[in-house]
């Protein structure tokens, strides 16, 4: 008589949660068999499986995924990090990711950096702590700590939106070249005084790259490439302000190259309100190829980027890696195309 009746098992919380053990007991099998019946059904006899599923139904069992993840050291989470939810572009990429991943039983874990790389690092730390199966982030730039952390992580990482030196998989397009493409188009229309307008460009370095491409082409012809930066997020409203600012600062401007379609469309609609002819008085171009631009009159000249395709492609590459299939290319250029409207 000694270490026998140690006392009642102290229940930590109320915890009336139905556990796998109870399901197993009800089905007359061991816990591991119940686990297999739910997770790897092909490894369990059909009748056994039916009994387990029955018990699940009867008891109203909801698997504790936290426990499962801890035991197996993996979750079915995909971390997705974007700089903003206010921008339709990221929404469409997220949608592409979401469609593909949810169909395969993965959950999206969404983080928003607000264009702050330190915030990105925090999010990455948190997400790694959740044993995510993969991580998708917008852009190639990270702070030092974040870079180190990711470089030592052994699961698939996708950097989307732009191309360059990537950690793992890279899906995007060449923004420098996109900027050049539009600038060439504007030059081909013989515009000389061309102003570039961006919103919060110090944060949005992809817009900066497009501007760099734009400037490069104008420089080839010995032209200046004046820049106007708006201190607000891209929106129709901001585009209207942008137009006003350009006309005030550069009265002789013939064309405006906007960093994105929200701005361009806002300017275009505002031009009409002001009684300005587009492109007669001022030509307007954008970037992204949002539907809006193609529904207004005149249709917006812009650059079409395959955004949801980018998401889907990123997701497909991740799934391929997770399935252990031979990884194809690591870098995928999704390209872009000039969408010529009547606004230039």
Give the full edge-to-edge strand order of the sheet including 194-199.
227-230, 194-199, 255-258, 283-285
Q: Per CB under 8 A, does 58 bind a second copy?
A: no
Residues 1-20: x where in contact with DNA by CB under 7 A, - otherwise, as a string: -----x--xxxxx-x-x-xx
Q: Which is nearer to a second copy, 176 or 259 (CB)?
A: 259
Q: Where are the alpha helices (DSSP H) in the chain?
A: 20-27, 31-39, 46-59, 65-72, 88-103, 117-129, 144-151, 175-188, 205-220, 236-249, 261-274, 291-295, 307-322
21-60 residues near DNA, rule: CB under 7 A? 21, 28-33, 35-36, 38-39, 43-45, 48
279: Cβ contacts below 8 Å, ≥ 6 apart = 255, 298, 342, 343, 344
Residue 88: exposure state from Cβ atoms within 10 A (0-12, 13-18, ≥19):
middle
Q: Per CB under 8 A, does 110 bind a second copy?
A: yes
d(Cα 52, Cα 28) in Å, to the nearest integer? Answer: 8
Q: Per the structure block, which two tokens stand in for 269? A: 């609609």
CB of 75 to a second copy, least distance (A): 7
55-94 residues near DNA, rule: CB under 7 A? 61, 63-64, 67-68, 70-73
Q: Per CB under 7 A, does 113 bind DNA?
A: no
CB of 127 to DNA, least distance (A): 15
Q: Which is nearer to a second copy, 21 or 219 (CB)?
A: 21
Q: Quick one: what does residue 343 bind among a second copy, DNA, none, with the CB cut-off 5 to 8 Å set by partner type?
A: none
Q: Per CB under 7 A, does 248 bind DNA?
A: no
Q: Per CB under 7 A, does 126 bind DNA?
A: no
Q: Quick one: what does residue 44 bind among DNA, a second copy, none, with the CB cut-off 5 to 8 Å set by partner type?
A: DNA
Other CB atoms closer than 10 Å to residue 74's CB: what's the count?
14
78: Cβ contacts below 8 Å, ≥ 6 apart = 97, 101, 106, 107, 108, 109, 132, 133, 134, 135, 136, 315, 318
Q: Per CB under 8 A, does 128 bind a second copy?
A: yes
Q: Per CB under 7 A, does 307 bind DNA?
A: no
CB of 94 to a second copy, least distance (A): 7
Task: Characterise 33 by phi-psi region: left (phi > 0), alpha (psi -120 to 50), beta (else).
Answer: alpha
Q: Which is nearer to DNA, 33 or 241 (CB)?
A: 33
Cα of 141 vs its chain's centroid, Å:
14
CB of 148 to DNA, least distance (A): 19
Binding site for DNA (CB under 7 A): 6, 9-13, 15, 17, 19-21, 28-33, 35-36, 38-39, 43-45, 48, 61, 63-64, 67-68, 70-73
């Amino acid at each position: 008589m000694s270490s026998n009746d140690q006392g009642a098992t102290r229940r930590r919380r109320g915890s009336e949660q139905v556990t796998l053990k109870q399901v197993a007991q009800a089905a007359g099998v061991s816990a591991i068999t119940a686990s297999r019946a739910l997770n790897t059904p092909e490894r369990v006899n059909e009748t056994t499986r039916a009994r387990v599923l029955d018990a699940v139904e009867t008891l109203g069992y909801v698997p504790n995924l936290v426990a499962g993840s801890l035991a197996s050291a993996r979750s079915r989470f995909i971390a997705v990090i974007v700089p903003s939810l206010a921008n339709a572009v990221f929404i469409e990429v997220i949608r592409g990711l979401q469609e593909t991943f949810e169909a395969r039983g993965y959950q999206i874990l969404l983080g928003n950096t607000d264009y702050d790389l330190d915030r990105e690092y925090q999010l990455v730390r948190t997400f790694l702590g959740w044993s995510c199966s993969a991580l998708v982030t917008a852009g190639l730039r990270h702070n030092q700590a974040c870079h180190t952390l990711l470089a030592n992580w052994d699961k698939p990482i996708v950097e989307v939106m732009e191309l360059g030196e990537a950690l793992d998989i890279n899906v995007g397009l060449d923004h420098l070249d996109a900027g050049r493409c539009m600038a060439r188009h504007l030059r081909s229309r013989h515009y000389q005084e061309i102003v570039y307008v961006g919103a919060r460009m110090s944060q949005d370095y992809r817009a900066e790259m497009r501007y760099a491409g734009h400037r490069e082409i104008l420089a080839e012809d010995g032209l200046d490439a004046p820049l106007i930066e708006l201190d607000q997020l891209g929106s129709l409203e901001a585009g209207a302000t942008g137009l006003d600012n350009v006309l005030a600062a550069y009265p002789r401007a013939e064309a405006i190259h906007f960093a994105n379609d929200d701005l361009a469309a806002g300017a275009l609609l505002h031009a009409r309100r002001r009684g300005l002819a587009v492109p007669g008085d001022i030509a307007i171009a954008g970037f992204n190829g949002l539907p809006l631009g193609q529904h207004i009159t005149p249709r917006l000249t812009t650059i079409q980027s395959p955004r949801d395709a980018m998401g889907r492609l990123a997701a497909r590459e991740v799934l391929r890696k997770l399935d252990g299939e031979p990884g194809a290319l690591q870098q995928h250029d999704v390209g872009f195309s000039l969408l010529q409207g009547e606004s230039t």
